[in-house]
Amino acid sequence: MHAAHWFLWTNHYRYLWKMKREIVLTEDGSYTLRMVDLEETYHSTFGAVQEAMHVFVQHGLQWKESEKRSGLKILEVGFGTGLNAWLTAIHAQLGVYYVGIEAFPVEQELLDALKYEKSIPEHGQLFQAICSAKWGVPVDLSGRFTIEKLHLKIQDAMLESNFFDVVYFDAFGPSVQKEMWSTEVLAKLYAAMKEGGALVTYCAQGQFRRDLKALGFVLESLPGPPGKREMTRAIKVKSNN
């Protein structure tokens, strides 16, 4: 990376790290976080839990489970509040090894204030276990859900090739974190996915979809969660070899 680009990139990450985050009530009654200066939320204001269930659980986890007989390996880019991981742990029918990458971990005080446990009280302890799981090591939480939280940027992650069945791509939008949506990052994710694996995201931006297609993904435009017309599922097709 050119020195000037590295300087701008590094300072952009420092800027994001120092930004104020506040609690926001969404339309389904669940809470999310908002980056105050950017006016960017971690989840949809139309419904944080609804969005996570629709995009990641229904069209990622459950879609892949329907064709699998053994456990899944899931990568989340943008671990954030842990909501996607928690809902995955609750709804998974097969064993799951879950890797969550997050450059800016959310403070425990904010996680507590989100009160996700109240939406599904019987699984409240599981959410707390996910939040308190040690970073950098695999932690078995239930005998069939193991989580490994990595405190780093996706650009710095060393990902095993042909390893993941599903990728949850839940970074802030391209207008906020342009570097997260680069072809370099997407190519890295492609290489880390198994053939037949799927990347799912709330985003349906034209340039993003063209970049995925150029890398070899087969794209599906699916109905979006409340407040969005479309979402994207990108499948790494099986080779003919």
216-224 long-range contacts, Cβ below 8 Å, gap at least 24? 216/190, 217/190, 222/59, 224/54, 224/55
Full residue range of the structural domain in which residue 67 is found: 49-236
pLDDT reading at 11 higher than 50? no
Per residue in 99-112, pLDDT tens?
Answer: 999 999 999 999 99
Is 33 within a domain? no
Residue 43 lies inside a defined structural domain of this protein: no
What ranges in 19-123 are assigned the alpha helix state H? 48-52, 63-65, 83-91, 108-114
User: 3-class SS at 101?
Assistant: strand
197 in a domain, yes or no?
yes
Indicate whether 103 belongs to any domain.
Answer: yes
203 vs 119 pLDDT, higher one: 203
Give the domain CATH number at 230: 3.40.50.150
Number of domains in the chain: 1
* pLDDT per position as a tens digit, 179-230: 999 999 999 999 999 999 999 999 999 999 999 999 999 999 999 999 999 9
Q: Does residue 10 lie within any of the structural domains?
A: no
Q: Is residue 2 one of the residues assigned to a domain?
A: no
How many Cα atoms sit within 13 Å of 18 on the Cβ side?
Answer: 6
Query: Is there a contact between 189 and 199 (Cβ–Cβ < 8 Å)?
Result: yes
Structural domain contains residue 200: yes
The pLDDT of residue 136: 96
- Give a yes or no: residue 202 inside a domain: yes
Task: Give yes or no for a contact between 21 and 37, defined as CB atoms under 8 angstroms apart.
Answer: no
Smallest CA-to-CA distance from 204 within 237, 238, 234, 162 is with: 234
Measured in degrees and rounded to the nearest 5, phi and psi for residue 18 equal -85, -5
41-59, pLDDT tens digit by residue?
Answer: 999 999 999 999 999 999 9
Question: The pTM is what?
Answer: 0.90
